[in-house]
């Protein structure tokens, strides 16, 4: 494993020929060694999907590093900076793969589903909390159906409720990230206004799902 200084990394990666090849090879090794530890909470290195993912992430990370060398400010070790990029790339890819076989139509057909168990403060909520949660979900379904356009409803359910990455939703909807941001902003404003009309706030909605 290379013991290059920050300046040596930059010089090697900006060069051409054998010097750059050597720097890229060393950097790839650093990424591949670090990923099993960084992703341990999401995907075990023993999982057969891990190695193909790690190699894909390493290649994508190297491309991003070469494209953004000028943004490295030297406030940390160069390898640490690269490792952070690799982790972001890996987590984005894991999220994308989670949704690659799920259509937006399927998400919308399921509409608003109960929150994941980890959002509940108590693993055994009281009957009163269950009733309140179900009532709130029904009110949300009604507001979504009455207030939002089909595109707003599709985007909101996919991004805000189901957790699909923005980039993936934008790709499937045939739009770009900035346009999707605007669509989501308008969607939130419409729902916030409707909540206010019904005497509710977003905090009221979230509080229902945090009760034990």
Query: Which pLDDT score, from 0 to 100, does residue 43 have?
Result: 82
Query: Which pLDDT score, from 0 to 100, does residue 13 have?
Result: 92
**Mean pLDDT, all residues of the chain:** 77
| pLDDT surpasses 90 at 98 | no
Query: Which pLDDT score, from 0 to 100, does residue 116 have?
Result: 38
Within 10 A of 27 (CB to CB), how many other CB atoms are there? 25
Q: Which domains does the chain have, with CATH numbers?
A: 6-99 (1.10.1740), 104-208 (1.10.10.10)
| pLDDT surpasses 90 at 202 | no
Q: State pLDDT tens for residues 110-154.
A: 444 433 333 333 444 454 555 556 676 777 778 888 888 888 888
Token readout for 141 is 């379904």
Token readout for 63 is 């491309």
How many angstroms separate the CA atoms of 22 and 12, rounded? 8
Show contacts of 29-33: CB within 8 Å, 24+ apart: 29/1, 30/1, 30/2, 30/79, 30/82, 30/83, 31/57, 31/58, 31/61, 31/62, 31/82, 31/83, 31/86, 32/58, 33/1
pTM: 0.50
Q: Over the Cα atoms of the chain, what is R_g? A: 22
């Amino acid at each position: 494993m290379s013991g290059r200084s920050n300046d040596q990394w930059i010089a090697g990666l900006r060069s051409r020929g054998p010097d750059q090849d050597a720097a890229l090879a060393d950097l790839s090794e650093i990424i591949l060694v670090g990923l099993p530890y960084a992703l341990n909470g999401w995907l075990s290195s023993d999982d057969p999907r891990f190695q193909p993912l790690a190699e894909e992430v390493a290649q994508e990370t190297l491309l991003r590093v070469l494209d953004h060398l000028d943004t490295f400010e030297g406030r940390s070790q160069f390898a640490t900076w690269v490792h952070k990029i690799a982790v972001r790339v890996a987590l984005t890819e894991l999220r994308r793969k989670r949704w690659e076989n799920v259509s937006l139509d399927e998400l919308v057909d399921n509409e608003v589903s109960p929150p994941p168990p980890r959002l509940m403060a108590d693993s055994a909520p009281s009957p009163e909390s269950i009733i309140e949660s179900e009532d709130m979900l029904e009110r949300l379904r009604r507001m979504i159906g009455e207030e939002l356009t089909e595109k707003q409803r599709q985007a909101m359910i996919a991004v805000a409720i189901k957790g699909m990455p923005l980039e993936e939703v934008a790709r499937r909807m045939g739009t770009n990230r900035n346009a999707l941001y605007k669509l989501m902003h308008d969607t939130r404003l419409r729902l916030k206004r409707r909540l206010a009309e019904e005497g509710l706030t977003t905090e009221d909605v979230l509080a229902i799902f945090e009760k034990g």
